[in-house]
Structure 1
């Protein structure tokens, strides 16, 4: 799509206004827990906005850009669900009070939006000048998919600390307890950071690592920087509400890793095949975007349904095992 500077400015401004409205409605007043009902409303709101935006792209740019947006949005949203599981572990590890969790997620997601915007700008410029990067991105996605499958059965509670987080914890004086929602406080005239800042750094830098997977994945579906950015933005904007809506459901999505690994592997192969085709290798087919959209959407539906069915079977077996012997026999 040929997008003017004014359209870019209007889109970014509109997204910022929506986020400001979200903040004004949700975060005004005293800190409080985010209810499932609130979360459900806001998730529906952001998904509806994304659908309307995608339809708008279709009306202006045609069917192909619209399909690319929805394929990218579904891919990024699916990968974001995997992010949420890591966020859940981080929140548990640092014992973040529930009334402050939405603030932590907000700051982390705003950091992610900025960092992903930079990644997208750099990636778009690099792909324009160095077409061989498609092979690198494709191989990296396949490697990542294999890594996800290998690590599926490992202990996810052992979260490694990245270099930025280790540096912050080592160099900044930190209070042992939370001080409300403050990230900086004074004790005896000396400034200290609170665990709230540590958690925000952990969330933001962890999402940066996830961007190393998700940005190449969406560039495998479209090289249009406008579509890449907006698909990422809409996937991230409703992420904190999705965190509270899913809640314990995250633990039940046992096959999510397999589904994401398949999607990343599929996009990696697609990237390599299309790079070969562009290089004049005629036996390498181009994968239509409608096929990509169908594969991505179908994989997530199958993965979610299979996960919930397995969780239900496991719960039933657990109840039967824990029931008294006379109840099981009678």
Structure 2
């Protein structure tokens, strides 16, 4: 009982409960077919595996977005950075370039894009949503210039492995996410960076007086977010074997922010949890997969996500929670009178 009470206070507890409930509902509706898995040529297949593979892009973005939101900022340019990353990598591979070189250059582009956002926010002091909106708008234009306005298709098994490859029977994107999350967790839990990050989000002015280089922290987290977007762009372009600059990462920035919010990270900055954000990403992906599996119109997904956003905003609103508390206490007092 004490262990359960302790776990219930963890930030990741309720996201996990919601995720398990979604899986349970899917299992009941599908008559258990949702949990069916099979091995074909040594590869594991099933809807759970699909959620993990298809959700890998969102989990990477959520990891980067967690750091950004923890500072009290936001990054709505990640979808455009994905388009740039895919355009660069596919252009290099299509012209006979080495896949490893293509991947490195694409990730470097993510570093540059993230550093640009970080400079505008930390040094120029532009509001995060405005600063990142610049790249959100210009990014797809840059990607179009790279591909000359065309959809580039490639035929490279090595590049396709980024999305469609398997290791130990599991999709390769899962291992990419595991590696990134491991590095991020070690960096935030085993160094002082995690405390600096949280302090910056709670009170940047006091953090600066305490000797924390707030501007450097913000610059680093936006750069990291750009790298995560670039890697996500590689996974997406490898999955479709090409670069579609118009649709790559379209509106996925909203899903990334929503995933982090579902994980309990305050949109005002401060306390954060990478595992909770990952579960939030899986919740969103499971909702999408469920709707498709049930044959419901895809447009319903947007309605569900909108309702979730409203619920989260109300749940995080202190005024709303205080109002509910007052009404509950007043009703309790009337019933006892």
Task: Report if TM-score (shorter chain) is over 0.5.
Answer: no
Q: TM-score band (shorter)?
A: 0.3 to 0.5
State the TM-score, normalized to the length of structure 2.
0.32
- Structure-1-length-normalised TM-score: 0.33
